[in-house]
Amino acid sequence: MRAIEVSEYGDSDVLEPVDREKPDPGPGEVRIAVEAAGINFADVMQRRGQYPGGPEPPYVPGMEAAGTIDAAGEGVDLEVGDPVVAMVSGGGYAEYVTADAQTLFPIPEAMGFAEAAGFPIQFLTAHACLFEWGGLEAGERVLIQAAAGGVGTAAVQLASRAGAEVFGTASSAEKLELAADLGCDHPIDYTEEEFAAVIDEETDGEGVDLVLESVGDDVFERSLDALAHFGRLVTYGVASGVPAEVSNRRLLFENKRVIGFHLGQAAQRDPDRVMRAVPDLTEGLASGDLEVIVGESFPLVEAAAAHQYIEDRKSSGKVVLRP
């Protein structure tokens, strides 16, 4: 089978097409004939060697894969040919991947494989950060960093649907328009405006109740500036590659909370808390109330170009690979 391999840590050009043996499913597993694989920024960080506990080269990246069941291992009561999407620990950038049957999600009838590949990680992350960890309630204000990205587009829709007042940052007029169309009340071009100052003006100095922060570096500190007293900041990524530090004295005197979230660790340690959102999310996607935004689709062999596209900040929504 054709797969993409990270030969060594480095820039996007370390992603190379290779031929590998088709994997066989073990007990409790299925093999998926992949139609679309989702790209996550965690894949980029793993490739750079910046992801704590990440795989060592050579390895096949990819945490989301959508396709049809090609084979089933012992103890699996699923049919060959069933359309599914899976969260996997790796191996998604390939024509075939094996997955634990318990990590599978059925694909709603009206949803294509590309959209399905963008569902699990971004919507589960967005929902958990907003509600399970962030405690967002109707009428509150929320700031979503990278509002036109994969998790961002999901978070904007979910927050708007919940009755929150949504602020969102993005880097171009096109991305800001996308965020606004999805329900962002206050799109902010962070390349032209200081988002904390905009929020201060728009809220009469009060700030927002919740921030979803995935960048790190000084964006983290400025996100705290935008946060109201007694507000919460949920941090779930370090897209800048520079981890942020926070002063406990600042949290103490400003009565602010910082909460960390990592989907993989959370799903492993408290799966019920993460996965109980699935029925509502699936129903919302099936009805059209929610939408997976697929920005670009690249052939599998162009995985390096797809990674570079994301790193150059050209992407909106989800970027997927098609074998």
Tens digit of each residue's pLDDT (9 = 90 or more) over 277-291: 999 999 999 899 999
Whether 25 is in a domain gets the answer yes
Where are any strands of DSSP class E within 173-264?
Answer: 186-189, 208-213, 227-235, 257-260
Residue 131 confidence (pLDDT) above 90: yes
Of the pLDDT bands very low, low, confident and very high (cuts 50, 70, 90), residue 241 is: confident
Q: Across-strand partners of 37? A: 65, 321
Instruction: Please compute Rg for the chain using Cα positions.
Output: 19
Whether 161 is in a domain gets the answer yes
Of the pLDDT bands very low, low, confident and very high (cuts 50, 70, 90), residue 246 is: confident
Mean pLDDT of all residues in the chain?
95
How many domains in the chain? 2
Residue 182, domain extent: 122-265
Whether 150 is in a domain gets the answer yes
Q: Is residue 127 domain-shared with residue 261, that is, in the same domain?
A: yes
Q: Is residue 104 domain-shared with residue 76, that is, in the same domain?
A: yes
Whether 34 is in a domain gets the answer yes
Query: Cβ(222)–Cβ(195) under 8 Å?
Result: yes
Q: Supply the pTM of this predicted model.
A: 0.94
Whether 277 is in a domain gets the answer no
Q: Is residue 130 domain-shared with residue 256, that is, in the same domain?
A: yes
Any alpha helices (H) in 30-99, and if so which ranges? 41-48
Query: Cβ(34)–Cβ(323) under 8 Å?
Result: yes
Q: Is residue 251 domain-shared with residue 130, that is, in the same domain?
A: yes
